[in-house]
């Protein structure tokens, strides 16, 4: 069994800490987004949707912009300490805003309450949760591998369920699109 250096242990601890920050900000953003849309739809909150003329700018656009900004900042600035913690928080918020409306960008339909959005959030939260609490690959035991293969099977099934409607649309509308 190999012994880890203090630096390696700090890196693993930091990775788990950042994954927990991303997971928490992701879930909180998702919950707030869903709650606000529900309250605005019911008339409890005023309509504060962002509009450009007659076009409703969905919050996934802000999530994509936020993820792009965090990605650029991570590559160009390579933050450490507080900057890295802030980036993980902003990244989780961007993920929450984007994947809350996953169904909209997947199906290009303006219907907010799509099952694909909720399913995507569950998959992302599960992956982040595993990263946050899971052991490093070197410390995987048989039960970890079984869980990992189960997760891969679930992700494969989810991917197939996402792609199948696209194949169907291609068969049904392919001749019209040429």
SS3 label, residue 124:
helix
CA distance 137 to 146: 13
For the stretch 125-148, pLDDT in tens is 888 887 787 776 677 778 777 877
What's the pLDDT tens digit per position in 13-57? 788 889 999 999 999 999 999 888 888 888 899 988 888 888 888
Closest CA to 126 of 34, 59, 26, 31: 26
pLDDT for 21: 94
Residues in the chain: 178
Top pLDDT among 103 and 87 is at 87
pLDDT at 176 over 60: no
Q: What is the pTM of this model?
A: 0.71
């Amino acid at each position: 069994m190999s012994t880890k250096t203090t630096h390696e242990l700090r890196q693993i601890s930091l990775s788990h800490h950042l994954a927990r920050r991303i997971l928490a900000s992701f879930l909180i953003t998702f919950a707030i987004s869903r709650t606000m849309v529900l309250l605005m739809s019911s008339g409890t909150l005023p309509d504060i949707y962002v509009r450009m003329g007659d076009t409703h700018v969905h919050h996934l656009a802000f999530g994509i912009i936020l993820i792009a900004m965090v990605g650029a900042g991570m590559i160009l600035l390579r933050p450490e300490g507080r900057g890295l913690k802030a980036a993980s928080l902003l990244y989780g918020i961007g993920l929450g805003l984007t994947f809350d409306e996953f169904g909209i960008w997947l199906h290009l339909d303006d219907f907010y309450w799509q099952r694909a959005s909720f399913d995507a959030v569950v998959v992302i939260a599960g992956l982040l949760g595993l990263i946050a609490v899971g052991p490093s690959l070197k410390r995987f035991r048989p039960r970890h591998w079984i869980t990992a293969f189960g997760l891969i099977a679930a992700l494969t099934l989810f991917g197939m369920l996402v792609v199948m409607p696209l194949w169907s649309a291609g068969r049904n509308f392919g001749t019209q699109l040429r």
